[in-house]
Amino acid sequence: MSRTELLESVDEAVRGVADGSTVLVGGFGFAGMPFDLIDGLIRQGATDLTIVSNNAGNGDVGLAALLKAGRVRKVICSFPRQSDSYVFDELYRAGRIDLEIVPQGNLAERMRAAGAGIGAFYCPTGVGTPLAEGRETRTIDGREYVLEYPIKGDVALISAHRADGMGNLVYRKTARNFGPVMATAATTTIAQVGGIVATGELDPEAVVTPGIYVDRVVRVDDRHYTVQGAR
């Protein structure tokens, strides 16, 4: 029997997210961002959160809306600033939010390491830059590496194209991005999907995230988001 809960509402899906949680949020810009789950988390009220994502929000929707609501204490990401990241920018300049920059490949690998049970790993990215200051380094085969530790989440919020009754997930093109590694790296993985099909209808060769990694699934209406109030 599947351990995955198939839920009727977004609010039910995000129940129990505790204050102070580390939340992994999928998406590369708007592609694959779990907008509905983020909106549900805002309604749910959890605060003092550490958010791990590729970037720090766009416009006033999705992750930016969570930041604007004052629920986030720290952001761990690889790309915090762009032309429409004004919500994060204003919070950071005002000293109301902390930031940890992680190179994009390192970010993905640190979450993959958490899911794979790897205690730490050495990586050359960032060596000789401020990102490696004060960090343990080691020379291996004549090349310098910096020690990286896994990033594990209390909760992962991800978006997928379809799920089946067992919680197996398939993604749509670039919307896949960080979803698969985040699903393995969190204690509780919550997925919003555009549709749920009967178990057995998904091609097993197309399943990217097996249901064993997915705790809750909720179907949401497919929609296209635009930046609101961009300036």
Give the chain's residues under pLDDT 50: 1, 226-231
Contacts of 201 (CB under 8 A, 6+ apart): 164
pLDDT at position 2 is 56
At the topology level, CATH places domain 5-105+151-219 in Glutaconate Coenzyme A-transferase (3.40.1080)
Query: Which region holds residue 168: left if phi is over 0, alpha if psi is between -120 and 50, else beta?
Result: beta
